[in-house]
């Protein structure tokens, strides 16, 4: 992402009604695309937002208090899960269906090993 794109995203995130207190609020905000949410969370996780002398905390400019690095990473993981669920829904593959396929594959692999012994 180039600096111009980041600046536009950053300005949108810091608008008058856009003061996020917690990283999961970024994930839940419907006005941003997944790409924009990722950019905001990645900036929040970056060393540039680390609190001096206490690098486990991150302070995004425009926020009132710091949050832990792990909470930012959890929000990124939540965003990833939402994207995968959306892709699965669009492709017609549900988690249960995928899990059944994995179980069937493992069962066949186990049967093959047992018959080869």
pLDDT (tens digit per residue) in 57-91: 998 877 888 999 999 999 999 999 988 877 777 77
User: What pLDDT shows up at residue 117?
Assistant: 56
Give per-residue burial for 16-39: e unless 16+ CB within 10 Å, then b: eebebeebbebbeeeebeeebbbb
> What tokens were used for 92?
């017609």
User: What pLDDT shows up at residue 78?
Assistant: 94
pLDDT tens digits, 11-60: 655 553 356 889 999 999 988 889 989 988 998 999 989 999 999 999 88
């Amino acid at each position: 992402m180039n600096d111009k794109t980041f600046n536009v995203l950053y300005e949108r995130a810091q608008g008058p009604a856009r003061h996020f207190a917690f990283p999961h609020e970024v994930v839940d905000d419907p006005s941003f695309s997944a790409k924009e949410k990722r950019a905001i969370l990645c900036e929040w996780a970056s060393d540039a937002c680390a609190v001096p002398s206490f690098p486990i905390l991150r302070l995004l400019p425009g926020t009132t208090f710091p949050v832990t690095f792990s909470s930012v990473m959890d929000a990124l993981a939540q965003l990833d899960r939402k994207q995968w669920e959306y892709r699965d829904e669009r492709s017609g593959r549900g988690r249960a269906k995928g899990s059944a396929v994995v179980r069937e594959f493992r069962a066949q692999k186990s049967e093959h090993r047992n018959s080869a012994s």
